[in-house]
Chain A
């Protein structure tokens, strides 16, 4: 038995030594550009260019100030007109600096090509503006504690492939916030009338403050946009990551979609939006 035990012991020792050899490779950080661009029907294009950050546990204001790319050449072309966008400060959108056009405006059915060049890198993306779908009706349903819940109804066009995105804000707020489940694909309700109970979304994923309802008497702005497929895929994957990344039962895809070609991620998206102003009651 002793011999046997000794053999066992040596085999064990050998295997353990073998198994301990590999050091964990540090996870590589790949620097990338991040593009968030939009062109609304009847409005100029807007583009924010930043870069990603290595995974530190805390980000301070110096790092946040440093993510913005200020000296990129950003052009948007609709096939006939090409405009170089101008970098400017805009207090509505973090990091408070964006590129904006002053001549070219979005039209229904238009195709728009975005090109960003910076320090020898070129990023490209294309998008289009789909048809406008109006909301047929907006109303509020009472909820406890003087709250009301937004409800909307619209009719999907059977002949078109449609994707939708919805936002709300209080009239006094600077920017629209996407609703909690903000993206819709007409694959599942093509040609039908769709009635939605709408919950407000969180401002962003940095806060746990979440109030799904409006108060009676609020002046509510509702924005309803038609978006192209690439936009739907991006915003759905973002929603999936934000909502489900912490849910072990559901799990997220762990990779946001993008339509940016080149060393970058993000979204360049056309919107066919209608904005409604309603009083919550």
Chain B
């Protein structure tokens, strides 16, 4: 580790290509369905050398000339061992048989070493990884699991957002089977919209974003369902105190299958009545109600041995209510995500794979507020159509990827309505924005030598805001722009670069850089990342956000003892970061959103530490992040630097899992993080008989330290033809009140000369035990 890295690098540049070595490259496919198997480990019996297949099932490994025994393994398939005798570079396709025995029990993908997974710039999570963290009210969740990884800030209680390396939650690209999901959370972030039964694997990028992804500054969460053609009928049913779910896979023919996952909560009949009763004793009490559902459908069709079609459809919706009894104010929100995609994957030749996707994303949001006869609300809607095509070519030491991305957006953010008694308020013509984007990308993953590999990519994007569009000026006159008219446009380049260097077989260094541009923006309106935060595209006055991200890390694996870990340092900067001036009520008052937007700079840096134990009865990981995230806006805090709301000095997660017996399993999650930054009153004044707060420096105060412990225990029954499991979980074991929001309430009377100001906190969930029962039929 102490060897001078640069000298070695220079030396290696001179020794590219070693004698007596040959390359074996190949594709690993499932024997049923001909689906490419990604994440299969390819190793040699004779040495420690190994590699992992990519998403097309492709791998490449360097071998000694002569006889070698090759082993290919994957948790869902039977291991394949084959003897090879190679004299020159060789290409071959391998088929793995489905391991039916293993399909019953989902296993953690511990076989994939950190050197492979993290050097790819992403964390790979599988359905099985989700089951290692304690379930919230009996439900395992993807986004909650991602939040335990280093560098990912938890926004605090009731916050759905993912804050990756000091960036905003709207700066993450969330793809579910190729379609963008604009609001990936069911409310309060306790559940993501991704039913874990419909998720096979997740690639989570937080640095060196590859060029095939575009449109966001911070991170990419690429979620895929199982695309294999199912070979047997499978039915799973799950019941917990708050939700029921059903998971079904039906083979229609040998090459065609259909799958569905459905989930529906009934918390308005279980959780909320209890929470409302426990929390509501005084006059400032609030009432809550909330439920959601998810529907996932997918169909996989193997047209030929080389062509596969995969169609998916997702629909999910939420309905939330929050009543402030003090003012008889009823708030309601409902929102719905829709996504559909059709993917055609063709293996053109041994070395060329073509992937085409047509996709649709839809999102709509309604917020309503009622105070007696006064009703007001806002509605937002988004509709996207996109086409993505990528050609992947495997040449000797190169993996080339080139493609095209076309997107068409329609945004209708925050259309207000208000009705007072019998009069409808006239808000004029609603803001509707049409924008389109076209991008070309090209990248090369170059295996420079056995020790050094380099990824370089470039993405060229043309973005424009087009008509039809109406601009309402202050005197209420409307200027109309027709359909073909371009109102603003921009052409930009986004480079991405990663260098990976192996110090030895178990240690590697990685440097990653990427420059990213974000053309659509999540405008933060509420105190806690509620879905009323809305999306809008870049227009005149709201330019694209631009940022650079750098990271340098050391990755280490102790294969024998079953540990792996890394330290990753990062720095980011961005310009045209957005803060919204005011609250949601300002959206009623002024139709020009751009007039309420502040633009500024962001900067964040930090160090991430990760240590994972993969072997033995006791497994788990510890992740810790030390970081800072700051912002500078001319209009906020008198132009002085202020901390980003989700700046986390410390962020720690400990996830552990203990296999007590083949039937019993215990798991625990402890999380601790610096509280959110917020703006606190520093003084007050009296006016019109009211005591009014004067607020101090922006985000200069902190919410208390956030910490929480969750525990769960699972038991597996084996009873004949079907399998079942029972799990007990406890959320917030020691009943810590983690406030999500602070406010100040003055009480007393001026005439009697006695006034006190109380700091009030809204904390959502007390200790919550849950029970969950799952049955699997085959």
Contacts and interface: CB of A to CB of B under 8 A. Distances in A.
18 contacts: A4-B507, A4-B556, A15-B607, A27-B696, A36-B688, A51-B685, A64-B686, A149-B372, A188-B418, A196-B420, A197-B420, A204-B750, A208-B283, A210-B327, A246-B760, A248-B740, A255-B695, A266-B685
Contacts of A93: 689
B78 interface: no
Contact of B743 (A27, A59, A194, A246): A246
Interface stretch (A5-13, A216-224, A272-280): A5-13
B589 to A, nearest CB: 7
A61 interface: yes
Contacts of A199: 371-373
A187 B592 CA distance: 13
A206 B748 contact: yes
Contact of A203 (B607, B689, B743, B762): B689
A185 interface: yes
Contacts of B420: 181, 194-197
Given A8-B609, A240-B585, A252-B583, A34 B686 contact: yes
Interface in A201-260: 203-208, 210, 212, 236, 238, 240-256
Interface in A11-34: 11-12, 15-16, 19, 24-25, 27-30, 32, 34
Name the residue in B324, B421, B691, B694 with the highest tally of chain A Cβ atoms < 10 Å from its Cβ: B694
Contacts of A192: 423, 426
Interface stretch (B250-258, B435-443, B541-549, B751-759): B751-759
A7 B754 CA distance: 59
A12, A93, A178, A206 pick with most chain B CB within 10 angstroms: A206
Contacts, number: 240
A137 B684 CA distance: 39
A115 B511 CA distance: 64
Contact of B750 (A7, A15, A64, A241): A64
B479 to A, nearest CB: 18
A8 B760 CA distance: 41
A7 to B, nearest CB: 7
A246 B322 CA distance: 13
B527 interface: yes
A251 B518 CA distance: 26
A249 B685 contact: no
Given A197-B372, A247-B324, A251-B525, A19 B650 contact: yes
A189 B426 contact: yes
Interface residues of B, number: 94
Given A245-B693, A254-B679, 6 more contacts: A1-B561, A4-B507, A27-B696, A59-B754, A95-B686, A195-B422
A54 B1 contact: no
A50 to B, nearest CB: 6
Given A53-B685, A55-B681, A4 B692 contact: no
B649 interface: yes
B284 to A, nearest CB: 7
Contacts of B686: 34, 50, 64, 67, 94-95
Nearest to B531: A249
B460 interface: no
B160 to A, nearest CB: 13
A57 interface: yes
B757 A54 contact: no
Nearest to A188: B425
B327 A180 contact: yes
A263 B747 CA distance: 28
B694 A58 contact: no
B331 A249 contact: yes
The 8 A-B residue pairs whose C-beta atoms are closest, nearest first, are: A61-B753, A197-B373, A188-B425, A251-B583, A204-B689, A27-B696, A248-B741, A52-B685
Contact of A28 (B421, B682, B744, B755): B682
A80 interface: no
B585 A250 contact: yes
A109 to B, nearest CB: 21
Given A151-B421, A206-B746, A241-B693, A12 B683 contact: no
Given A27-B696, A244-B583, A205 B690 contact: yes
